[in-house]
Amino acid sequence: MASLKEIKTRIGSTKKTKQITKAMEMVSAAKLNRAQGRAEAFQPYTQKIREVVTSIAQGTEDVSHPMLQEREEIKRTGYIVITSDRGLCGAYNSGLLRETHRLIQERHNSEDEYGIVVLGKVGRDFFKKRGMPVMQEIVGLNDHPEYSDIKNIAETTVQMFADEVFDEVYLHYNHFISAISQQVTEAKILPLTGLAEEAKEADQKTEGRLDYLYEPDPATILEQLLPHYAETLIYGSLLDAKASEFGARMSAMRSATDNADNRIEELTLSYNRARQAAITQEINEIVGGAAAQS
């Protein structure tokens, strides 16, 4: 059985741990509010680009673009995986990486059939440890990243699709649902077949459709706008993933704080019992000594 001094030391160290986890929970909560606001504020921008591109595809029959068309043969698939740079965020990384790894193993028989673009140190280390082909990586991102922070890797990935290094590209990240809930999400961002399908559907519902005047011509605008739209999808998903990360980290630290409280209660109870036993022992020794002298 541990001595009173040992139990008291454990209580003290657990209280210090609780102070740290409580502080980390408060910091994560503050970062979550900011990250959630930035993710929500970016959505109208992405939606407006989508609206314009869909309008061009809908209203101009002779305009097409390779980014809107499925390729007949898929030789290599690209996966953009967004993780955190640090741990202490519960199952935020493990759930995402486990699902990504499972899908890759199911879909591909060779490393030549896929390539990985990873944002985050945890994901980078996970894939490299397993010898999986990491073609691009970025680590050490700011807690509240700007578009300029990932501009190069986003542009390069889109260009790899244009150059047919990738024949399709998927995004894997944790979608923010609430402060205590995140959902592992896969989204196909290239080719942008969803836009082509939307254009076809909208073409059947011309009533109430907005008509745009384009300068320069629609084909030139589409050439410039489609790559940028794909890049905004990557950046928007990163903002979404960051909000999820802070939510997961806040929940993990709250759970750790609660566990520390429970442990302190258990140790305090053990301390009081041990102290009571020591006092009883001392009383018995005093009574026994007095009886021996009488």
Task: Tell me how far apart the terminal alpha carbons of the chain are, to the nearest angstrom.
Answer: 35
Sheet of strand 168-178: strand arrangement: 134-138, 114-119, 77-82, 168-178, 181-190
89 is catalytic: yes
The single residue of 56, 89, 189, 243 carrying the catalytic annotation is: 89
Cis peptide preceding 133, ω within 30 of 0: no
91/220 Cα distance (integer angstroms): 45
| Residue carrying the six token digits 């030549």 | 112
DSSP state, 73? -
- Concatenating the DSSP letter of every residue in 231-293 gives HHHHHHHHHHHHHHHHHHHHHHHHHHHHHHHHHHHHHHHHHHHHHHHHHHHHHHHHHHHHHHH
Task: Give the residue numbers annotated as catalytic, written as ranges.
Answer: 89
